[in-house]
Structure 1
């Protein structure tokens, strides 16, 4: 994946100001954006996904421009064809696992023309090992099952890249280790480009083929010192 990010945006809230000014070029199937809380990691990832709009700059993936302030280009999130998994997974509590996954389909799970998509959903239930909880609701699931459901919903449309916001932060240590291994194997099997944000050094060790270190809204030097 060729990921080009060169953006700036000023955020103001409750009398405070935060300036995001991030520029980097990544050429790897696995990119980790690393930094402490408040460094601007989530803001950067959301800008790539189209969930926030920079004040200025350019974002492109594999040569395709997502955002360019000079030409006033700003593709909608769906047009970018990337999948975004939130830290809290953002599952719909009133929908079952199967319905949550189906909701991710472009055609719409509740559209009659999409009934044949049941086979697609079944495939992802099996791939993520959650068929046994297909008819359960998010509140009935373990943390790992919720994450697998969110991944299945994100991947069912065959996105060009997978964006993950602190994917293991809500899990306990033992489950975190297991889910890292599962995501590692899944990414290698699907060969889907992955960009992940984290403040955890173990995530960097597993997924950090290329690492971008953020500090106070900017790309920082000295990653080796930060990880020491």
Structure 2
């Protein structure tokens, strides 16, 4: 195992376009870091520079404290799991897993190869498939073989390039759990590229969010969700996405197309004196006011709106409210949609309410907002005006503590 350090990494192609632009990131020994962002943000390019498949234009890459910019991929002792599995169709599962060791002739005895292959096979529940060919396996089984090939190398770090994107939704869920379990068990430094934020939020100790080659924020999943650094991170992280409502702060009141929303003192101060702000409100920050007690209602603000339609999902329900956008933020919202590689952001609130709520499309409903969790953003710069940096750092610190306990438990289990 080893730490990975990126110091002001730049990747420019022949036309001078910076696919990766001045990225600095410290990945601790044994840490699981996710690189996430929309298509074309530079995350796969960054991963390929770490493994040595792309040259570094500027900056330094250190693995275990050693500068490796000029080392060939085979000399970096990194194991990579590809999106397309990269298995040899003519070899059995056993031989596919053993291949990296056989490639280094004379380094491993037959007994050592067999020991490592069977250890990986047990971990991945592949024992009964060792004599089969990849063509006779399911997608999930092929991915486990690809992971087995990485495990036997006992590399300094594992690198994953969108390994689950070829699997269906059910298999992705199963393999997420498998990868998480293995990474905790092996305690190997891991860097994982994905555009799927469910993978990012469930797998990573920390998540690095990229936009157009520039690192936007690196933090625990919970810090990204609760204390996003800017408009892009707030919009990209979370499903459904954060709602952005234009408004103006007057005193302690945020005046919006939805009506007046009473703000906490700190938020009102952050937005005071600005011509317009964007209020970021996650769907889960709302509730059907009719389901709350007076004591609960007093801890937030309410407004009345007509619902366009609802979606009932069994464990929760989404209700939708349309509103009129402010032309002063139209360009900001259009640019944000482009940056997120999304369709045009509609002027429509998505609100998560209790599954037992009987709200339906066409109803005029009284809705409640947890105003303590509203963020205000500057539409011009994207800055989160209400970010509590200390609270965010505490969330990431707690995530590191949780990770340390996981590593101790894994070590104790292997002792």
TM-score by length of 2: 0.50
What is the deviation of 1:225? 2.8
RMSD: 2.2
Higher RCO, 1 vs 2 (CA within 8 Å, ≥6 residues apart): 1
Radius of gyration: which is bigger? 2
Q: Work out the CA distance in 2 between the residues paired with 1:61 and 1:158.
A: 15
In structure 2, which of residues 189, 207, 216 is the aligned counterpart of residue 220 of structure 1? 216
What residue ranges of structure 2 are gaps of 5+ in the alignment? 218-229, 242-415
Which residue of structure 2 aligns with residue 54 of structure 1? 56
Question: Does structure 2 conserve the Cα–Cα contact (< 8 Å) formed by 1:26 and 1:210?
Answer: no
Which residue of structure 1 aligns with residue 119 of structure 2? 123
Question: Does structure 1 conserve the Cα–Cα contact (< 8 Å) formed by 2:9 and 2:24?
Answer: no
Question: Does structure 2 conserve the Cα–Cα contact (< 8 Å) formed by 1:35 and 1:199?
Answer: yes
What is the deviation of 1:145? 0.6
Question: Does structure 1 conserve the Cα–Cα contact (< 8 Å) formed by 2:10 and 2:18?
Answer: no
Other structure's SS at 1:100 match:
helix
Q: Work out the CA distance in 2 between the residues paired with 1:133 and 1:94.
A: 15
Which residue of structure 1 aligns with residue 33 of structure 2? 31
Aligned residues: 219
Which residue of structure 1 aligns with residue 109 of structure 2? 114
What is the deviation of 1:64? 2.0
Could you say if the C-alpha distance between residues 88 and 113 of structure 1 is closer, same or farther in structure 2, counting changes exceeding 3 Å? Answer: closer
Do structure 1's residue 19 and structure 2's residue 29 form an aligned pair?
A: no
TM-score by length of 1: 0.88
Which residue of structure 2 aligns with residue 71 of structure 1? none
Which residue of structure 1 aligns with residue 47 of structure 2? 45
Question: Does structure 2 conserve the Cα–Cα contact (< 8 Å) formed by 1:87 and 1:165?
Answer: yes
Other structure's SS at 1:196 match:
strand
What is the deviation of 1:113? 6.4
What residue ranges of structure 1 are gaps of 5+ in the alignment? 68-73
Question: Does structure 2 conserve the Cα–Cα contact (< 8 Å) formed by 1:22 and 1:44?
Answer: no
Other structure's SS at 2:210 match:
strand
Superposed, 1:126-137 pairs within 5 Å as 126-137=122-133
Could you say if the C-alpha distance between residues 218 and 95 of structure 1 is closer, same or farther in structure 2, counting changes exceeding 3 Å? Answer: same
Other structure's SS at 1:187 match:
helix
